[in-house]
Protein backbone atom coordinates (compact mmCIF):
# COMPACT_ATOMS: atom_id res chain seq x y z
CA UNK A 1 0.00 0.00 0.00
CA UNK A 2 1.29 3.44 -0.89
CA UNK A 3 1.95 5.76 1.98
CA UNK A 4 -0.81 8.31 2.47
CA UNK A 5 0.05 11.84 3.49
CA UNK A 6 -2.09 14.86 4.18
CA UNK A 7 -0.49 16.54 1.19
CA UNK A 8 -1.59 13.83 -1.24
CA UNK A 9 -5.08 13.82 0.26
CA UNK A 10 -5.28 17.57 -0.17
CA UNK A 11 -4.06 17.28 -3.75
CA UNK A 12 -6.70 14.62 -4.46
CA UNK A 13 -9.42 16.80 -2.96
CA UNK A 14 -8.29 19.81 -4.96
CA UNK A 15 -8.24 17.98 -8.28
CA UNK A 16 -11.69 16.53 -7.51
CA UNK A 17 -12.85 20.05 -6.69
CA UNK A 18 -11.63 21.25 -10.09
CA UNK A 19 -13.29 18.33 -11.82
CA UNK A 20 -16.64 19.03 -10.15
CA UNK A 21 -16.53 22.73 -10.91
CA UNK A 22 -15.82 21.94 -14.55
CA UNK A 23 -18.68 19.45 -14.60
CA UNK A 24 -21.08 21.89 -12.96
CA UNK A 25 -20.39 24.59 -15.51
CA UNK A 26 -20.79 21.95 -18.23
CA UNK A 27 -24.18 20.89 -16.81
CA UNK A 28 -25.18 24.53 -16.70
CA UNK A 29 -24.28 24.90 -20.36
CA UNK A 30 -26.12 21.70 -21.34
CA UNK A 31 -29.30 22.77 -19.54
CA UNK A 32 -29.17 26.11 -21.30
CA UNK A 33 -28.50 24.43 -24.64
CA UNK A 34 -31.37 21.97 -24.12
CA UNK A 35 -33.77 24.85 -23.72
CA UNK A 36 -32.81 26.46 -26.97
CA UNK A 37 -32.62 23.16 -28.89
CA UNK A 38 -35.57 22.02 -30.96
CA UNK A 39 -37.03 19.19 -28.91
CA UNK A 40 -39.98 17.34 -30.41
CA UNK A 41 -41.43 16.50 -27.05
CA UNK A 42 -41.74 18.78 -24.08
CA UNK A 43 -41.70 15.79 -21.74
CA UNK A 44 -38.35 14.68 -23.03
CA UNK A 45 -36.91 18.07 -22.41
CA UNK A 46 -38.25 18.09 -18.91
CA UNK A 47 -36.85 14.63 -18.25
CA UNK A 48 -33.48 15.68 -19.57
CA UNK A 49 -33.56 18.74 -17.35
CA UNK A 50 -34.31 16.60 -14.35
CA UNK A 51 -31.39 14.28 -15.11
CA UNK A 52 -29.05 17.21 -15.59
CA UNK A 53 -30.37 18.80 -12.45
CA UNK A 54 -29.80 15.61 -10.49
CA UNK A 55 -26.22 15.46 -11.73
CA UNK A 56 -25.83 19.11 -10.86
CA UNK A 57 -27.23 18.64 -7.39
CA UNK A 58 -25.05 15.64 -6.67
CA UNK A 59 -21.99 17.53 -7.84
CA UNK A 60 -22.95 20.53 -5.76
CA UNK A 61 -23.38 18.38 -2.65
CA UNK A 62 -20.03 16.69 -3.25
CA UNK A 63 -18.40 20.02 -3.94
CA UNK A 64 -19.75 21.33 -0.65
CA UNK A 65 -18.21 18.38 1.17
CA UNK A 66 -14.89 18.92 -0.56
CA UNK A 67 -14.88 22.61 0.27
CA UNK A 68 -15.56 21.78 3.89
CA UNK A 69 -12.80 19.15 3.95
CA UNK A 70 -10.35 21.65 2.44
CA UNK A 71 -11.38 24.24 5.01
CA UNK A 72 -10.76 21.70 7.74
CA UNK A 73 -7.31 21.01 6.27
CA UNK A 74 -6.51 24.73 6.28
CA UNK A 75 -7.62 25.06 9.88
CA UNK A 76 -5.65 21.99 10.87
CA UNK A 77 -8.80 20.17 11.99
CA UNK A 78 -8.98 17.67 9.17
CA UNK A 79 -7.27 14.85 11.01
CA UNK A 80 -9.39 15.21 14.13
CA UNK A 81 -12.84 13.88 14.84
CA UNK A 82 -15.46 16.63 15.00
CA UNK A 83 -17.29 14.74 17.69
CA UNK A 84 -14.70 13.39 20.13
CA UNK A 85 -11.49 15.12 19.03
CA UNK A 86 -9.64 11.84 18.50
CA UNK A 87 -7.19 11.71 15.64
CA UNK A 88 -8.64 10.16 12.49
CA UNK A 89 -6.09 7.84 10.82
CA UNK A 90 -4.97 9.02 7.36
CA UNK A 91 -5.93 5.61 5.99
CA UNK A 92 -9.54 6.30 6.92
CA UNK A 93 -9.39 9.79 5.43
CA UNK A 94 -7.97 8.33 2.24
CA UNK A 95 -10.89 5.92 2.04
CA UNK A 96 -13.55 8.48 3.02
CA UNK A 97 -12.02 11.89 2.33
CA UNK A 98 -15.11 13.88 3.33
CA UNK A 99 -15.54 12.41 6.75
CA UNK A 100 -15.13 14.50 9.85
CA UNK A 101 -15.77 11.66 12.27
CA UNK A 102 -13.58 8.85 13.52
CA UNK A 103 -14.74 5.29 12.89
CA UNK A 104 -16.12 4.96 16.40
CA UNK A 105 -18.30 8.08 16.16
CA UNK A 106 -19.32 7.37 12.57
CA UNK A 107 -20.56 3.87 13.40
CA UNK A 108 -22.61 5.05 16.33
Give the residue, chosen from 59, 81, 99, 100, that forms a contact with Zn ion under the rule CB under 5 A: 81
Stretch that binds Zn ion, among 3-11, 26-34, 40-48, 95-103 (CB under 5 A): 95-103
CB of residue 93 vs Zn ion: minimum separation in angstroms? 13
Per-residue DSSP letters for the chain? -PPP-HHHHHHHHHHHHHHHHHHHHHHHHHHHHHHHS--S-HHHHHHHHHHHHHHHHHHHHHHHHHHHHHHHHHTT-TTB-TTT-PBPPHHHHHHSTT--S-HHHHT-
Residues binding Zn ion: number (CB under 5 A): 6
| 21 interacts with Zn ion by CB under 5 A | no
Q: Quick one: 45 or 86, whose CB is closer to Zn ion?
A: 86
Amino acid sequence: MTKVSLKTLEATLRSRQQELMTRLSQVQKDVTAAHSADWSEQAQERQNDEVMEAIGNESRIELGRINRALERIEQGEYCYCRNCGEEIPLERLAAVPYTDLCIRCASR
